[in-house]
A and B are shown apart, each in its own frame.
Chain A
Amino acid sequence: MPPETYSSNNTAQSVLGRIAPQDFIGREETLNALVSLSTRDETAHGILLLAAPSSGASELLRQAYDRLFHSFENGVAPVYFDWSAADGNSEMAARRFLYTFLLQTTAYLQRKPALVYAQPTLGELVEMIPVSDDQWVGALIEKYERARRESDEDALVRLCLSAPIEAAAKGRRTVVLFDNAHLIEELPGKLALSRELLQILSRSETGFVLSGLRRRLRDAISYEEAHIVNLSTLLLVNLNESEARSLTVRLSAQLSVELNDAARELLVHQFSGNPLFITSVMQAAQRSSRMLTSFLSCQKTYVDELMGGRIKHYYDSQLARVAPSHAMRRTLVRLLYESAMGAEGKASIDSWQKRLDLSPDALQNLIRALHGLEIVSHVGESIKVSDELVWRDYLRAQYRIGVAGEARARVVVEALLDALKRAPQTLDRHYRRKSALALRPLLDRFDWQRVPASLLHYGKFTQAYRGRQAGEIASGLAGETELVRLPQIVYTASAASYYPSPDFICEEEQCVVAHGFDGDFYTDSSEVVWLAVEMDGQKEAGRGAVEWWHERLVNLARRSGFGRVRLWLIATGGFTPDAMKFLSEKDIYASNRHQIELLTSHLEGEAASVVLTETASDEFEIVIPMGGDSELIAANAAEMIARRINFQPEAINQIKTALIEACINAEEHSFSPDRKIYQRFRLESDKLVITVSSRGVRLPASLPKDVRGSQDREDNASNNGLRGRRGWGLKLIRSLMDEVEFERVDEGTRLRMTKFLRPPE
């Protein structure tokens, strides 16, 4: 029967698609590539679609089918065929293919979408074929009946699979979309089915797609086979961030599930853009009439799905495929969990052999199946359990309930507590990544350019340019005679990929290894490795933090066997004099964020904007970019608003100063992805309420103590009276305003401050 599609309107025309075309998010490029198979005349007409598990390959193929089906004018009939182990053997699968081919071609030619769900007999089907195509169909059926009578299995399989060639020979072009093609190898039969299929397809002009699990399909189709057919390869992985966000928003509208920004971001990043998991949680929220407007509601829905919903069902069915019996599954869950808990989540094949009562071949098949599903990675003699977050949550819950026999309620509540604790960390990691300086792209642009030396020497830079305006700095840099020649960088990677230590995993995107050459020739002696790190914290980095990073980078270089290295430390607020002394002693390059921006603008540049919105007669919203004195714009707006209810000049000045401090605080103390400050002004008869918020999270307390060193010292200094340098903002705000409140929100902290109107004294 036709699929039940959910759509935001009723204009969608789905044939096989389970999602209305206008609601199918992302994948446009891949979809276009599949659909364009119908317009090709050349012989290179095959696509190998290597899909990650649950990345939505089947729906993509069905969407491609629907688009092709509705392109009546080119006369190219689409055929979607889903390989299934349920066919039992290659002959049955081939016969089902022939039937599907004829049925769907007829549905296309008759312009009858509903026909693809009908189940006519072969005889009835032949009668439905239009006159234009009855000749080749008749001939094909005749050959089929003959092969069947002669019980020639090989001939029968070849004949069925050759249906597209027979059709093409008589002028009926088709595009065949093979789904779950990795299952071909599971079908027993005398013929090597995948090889046979490829050979047949290579002889025809039929456009075709072989789609399946990427690891299994790579195994099933050898390089030589792919080369013979001239297959082009496409990869299908999770949705990218923006597509995942669009999907979440679209589902929220379709399903009428209220969703706020923080919950949306959590879904996008917690599930790494996996469409199945995002859709499952959104649909579950609809079923339980739950609004997704907080981390709590989000994670409750997720844990419900994990413990008894579609996410659990998905993993249950994956495990059931590789371990059909309950007892075997239980043993497998235990083994997977214990392996996951082992060093680096790994176990040896020997240890699995000892624990599982399986023949070597059966064990090999089991591991191969798990590897294909990406539940484990099988490399050499070891098995590494996937550390994908949702899978690990599922595995832990299954082990605790099904193997360790723990009370379900306890497991549920602990899963929820863990998920909640993880939520801010998930976004924290994302925002850090977003607000990071993008060191890798910057290093990738190094190509033997000469740049002013002060950009890589913080001491020189502050000495020359502290207190200077942008124009002065630009002309100063242009006139500098001391230049540093950058290397030509040929490869960059995260430090964590060289040395997976906790020191580098937590700074994955911020510590970069860049290989290159700093001489004129590609020789051993000119080979150099730059180790660049963006240090944490918004203020000056102290000596402790600098020494900490120096030690780790030197250690990384030693362990990785790097020859000549150049260390480069970057601290947003620069370095303390003590730290600079150490940097100079060790000949380490050092820059603050401003220097990096200047270095980057040697190659590029950007601008910002201010948006002022009046929402109601007594309520105003302002969004300002961080930096560039934009807090003054907010302060001036506050002044105009405060004048509306006749605040006295002194009170207006106090409001302005408090607002400026709140903006500075928002800028200094959060990792903001959009670098904007949101302000809301609400006028009441006797007061003005100002709310200042920024997206992003507060600086975490979980950093190593010595890395936080400089920041801690700053914070302490502010408590030591006049000789402190910073940290007065909040003290000032509290003194200048009548009520100051911090509201804890999922994405960080929102500051709300109130000033009451007093009659003039």
Chain B
Amino acid sequence: MEITESGVKGEVICSRVEGSVAIIYAQGYLNKISGEQTERECRNRLEDGYRALVLNFSDTQIVNSIGVSILLGVIDAVEETNSRLCFCNVNNHTAQLFDMLGLTRHVYLAPTEEAALAWSSKDQTAGVAAAAAATAN
């Protein structure tokens, strides 16, 4: 397992890989700056060749609309590379927010990292659309 860190002390974006899945840990208040850090880490992992990403929100209490708009950029990048994306450990309030803004139509919200990993490695050929369908069901 490889663990990397980016960012400066206090606001470190960590990520690790498990098999073919990259797990990125969003930190603190997801706003423009930390959103862009998260996005950067996701793009780096995609450039490294990973085709399944899990974004773990266990350390994120608040997300603002700019942060959400940046997550859309991540979804775009994932779609452009025919990869898969799953969010996990999203608190109830943030999940409501994602739902309100329609993110959940495009990304699967797993309750835990294990569930996310299981979902991500279940069907590597299916795209985000399938995930959305699964979420809808």
Task: Identify the closest chain B residue to A728 (Cβ).
Answer: B65
Q: Output the least CB separation between B129 and chain A (Å).
A: 13
Residues of A within 8 A of B64 (CB): 631, 657, 660-661, 664
Q: Output the least CB separation between A725 and chain B (Å).
A: 5
Interface size class of B (residues with CB under 8 A): 20 to 34
Q: Is the CB of A467 within 8 A of B106?
A: no
A362 to B91, CA, bound (A): 86
Q: Output the least CB separation between A394 and chain B (Å).
A: 49
Given known contacts A467-B40, A632-B29, is B8 in contact with A726 (CB within 8 Å)? no
Interface residue SS majority, chain A: helix
Residues of A within 8 A of B46 (CB): none
Q: Is the CB of A722 within 8 A of B29?
A: no
Total A-B contacts with CB atoms under 8 angstroms apart: 66
Q: Is the CB of A726 within 8 A of B102?
A: no
| Residue B62 interfacial (CB < 8 Å) | yes
Choose, from B16-24, B31-39, B110-118, the stretch at the interface.
B31-39
- Identify B65's interface contact among A466, A721, A723, A732, CB under 8 A: A732
* B58-98 to A contact mask, C-beta < 8 Å, 1/0: 00001011101100110000000000000000001100010
Q: Is the CB of B106 within 8 A of A728?
A: no
Q: Is the CB of A725 within 8 A of B40?
A: no
Q: Is the CB of B69 within 8 A of A732?
A: no
Residues of B within 8 A of A502 (CB): none
Q: Is the CB of A471 within 8 A of B8?
A: yes
* A641-683 to B contact mask, C-beta < 8 Å, 1/0: 0000000001001101100110010000000000000000000
Residues of A within 8 A of B105 (CB): 722
Q: Output the least CB separation between B65 and chain A (Å).
A: 4
* A690-733 to B contact mask, C-beta < 8 Å, 1/0: 00000000000000000000000000000001111110110110
Task: Identify the closest chain B residue to A652 (Cβ).
Answer: B93
Q: Is the CB of A650 within 8 A of B102?
A: no
Interface residue SS majority, chain B: helix
Given known contacts A466-B36, A468-B37, A732-B97, is B66 in contact with A726 (CB within 8 Å)? yes
| Residue A160 interfacial (CB < 8 Å) | no
| Residue B133 interfacial (CB < 8 Å) | no
Q: Output the least CB separation between A278 and chain B (Å).
A: 42
| Residue A469 interfacial (CB < 8 Å) | yes
Q: Output the least CB separation between B14 and chain A (Å).
A: 14
| Residue A735 interfacial (CB < 8 Å) | yes
| Residue B1 interfacial (CB < 8 Å) | no
A635 to B61, CA, bound (A): 12
A469 to B69, CA, bound (A): 19
Residues of B within 8 A of A657 (CB): 62, 64, 93, 97
A653 to B63, CA, bound (A): 11
| Residue A629 interfacial (CB < 8 Å) | yes
Q: Which of A626-643 contact B (CB under 8 A)?
A: 629, 631-632, 635
Q: Is the CB of B103 within 8 A of A722?
A: yes
| Residue A472 interfacial (CB < 8 Å) | yes
Interface centre among B11, B62, B92 (most CB of A within 10 A): B62
Given known contacts A469-B33, A471-B8, is B62 in contact with A635 (CB within 8 Å)? yes
Q: Is the CB of A728 within 8 A of B93?
A: no
Residues of A within 8 A of B39 (CB): 467
Query: Can you add 17 more A-B contacts, CB < 8 Å, to A632-B62, A664-B64?
Result: A467-B36, A468-B37, A469-B37, A472-B7, A631-B64, A657-B62, A657-B93, A660-B62, A660-B64, A721-B102, A722-B101, A726-B65, A728-B65, A728-B101, A732-B100, A732-B101, A735-B100
Give 13 pairs: A residue, B residue, CB < 8 Å, sorted on A.
A467-B35, A467-B40, A472-B8, A629-B31, A632-B62, A650-B93, A664-B64, A721-B102, A722-B72, A723-B72, A728-B69, A729-B65, A732-B65
A: residues with CB less than 8 A from B are 466-469, 471-472, 629, 631-632, 635, 650, 653-654, 656-657, 660-661, 664, 721-726, 728-729, 731-732, 735
B: residues with CB less than 8 A from A are 7-8, 11, 29, 31, 33, 35-40, 62, 64-66, 68-69, 72-73, 92-93, 97, 100-103, 105-106
The 7 closest A-B pairs by CB, nearest first: A467-B36, A653-B93, A467-B40, A467-B37, A728-B65, A469-B8, A725-B69
